[in-house]
Structure 1
């Protein structure tokens, strides 16, 4: 399947990238920050083609997964044009700016660490 060919290992990613790929795969998504869940949903609903993921326990990093993790990394670093180009590989072009905005928010949330349960003050 397109996008599923291994391009690396999960260990190649930083911790935030591993969390992002786990969410992209659907593993523990309900525990992830809302912007990351929203970005995953956007990719699933409006992907340019069906996006491919490896299984939850697989140590491989597929092409689509690597693109997703890199999108978040670039958006976090303020590299808007590069992030936009990657977003256009994942979702329809008209939704790519939204994907970049969600990726920025997701990156910020991932940097803050685990979300507190509802009703809890940090």
Structure 2
């Protein structure tokens, strides 16, 4: 875990490893972390340049919508790990699973996870953003990597 992260914040507790997630869930965590980088940061600019037209920009914007609601109406502040950290934090896992559930059309599970993050009256808006993020990440995951017959841009 990154040393600058406050270890006593329960949302940052490591609950797994990023590499154990599927492409959509890992992409959601990556977008969460990138959204918190400065817009002019090299990592964010590279992602938007390289992945933007394949769904990356739409995914980043949708995750940003979730983050904005969470920031203003969250049950507590969101905690995330550093961009290059291999750990998966509790808040990151909740967001990743919510995006996956929304993509699969499991709105009840997505709503339940959203209510863990934000006030119940804002959960439908969070799930709507999660659906958009999931769809964009699915497009991105299905895009073949240049020079390969099949590939995944998120792994």
Q: TM-score, normalised by structure 1?
A: 0.84
8 Å Cα contact 2:70-2:77 kept in structure 1 = no
Q: Partner residue of 1:21? A: 29
Q: Partner residue of 2:41? A: none
Aligned runs of 1:2-41 on 2, under 5 Å?
A: 2-25=10-33, 26-27=36-37, 28=44, 31=48, 32-33=57-58, 34-41=61-68
Query: Which structure has the bigger radius of gyration?
Result: 2
CA offsets 1:34-82 (integer angstroms, 9 cap, x no match): 2222122222232110111111111000100000000000011111111
Structure 1: any 5+ residue segments left out of the alignment? 115-122
List, as ranges, runs of 4+ consecutive aligned residues in structure 1 with deviation greater than 6 Å.
none
Structure 2: any 5+ residue segments left out of the alignment? 1-8, 38-43, 49-56, 142-155
1:15, CA displacement in angstroms? 2.1
Q: TM-score, normalised by structure 2?
A: 0.67
Which 10-residue stretch deviates more, 43-52 or 98-107? 43-52
8 Å Cα contact 2:31-2:63 kept in structure 1 = yes
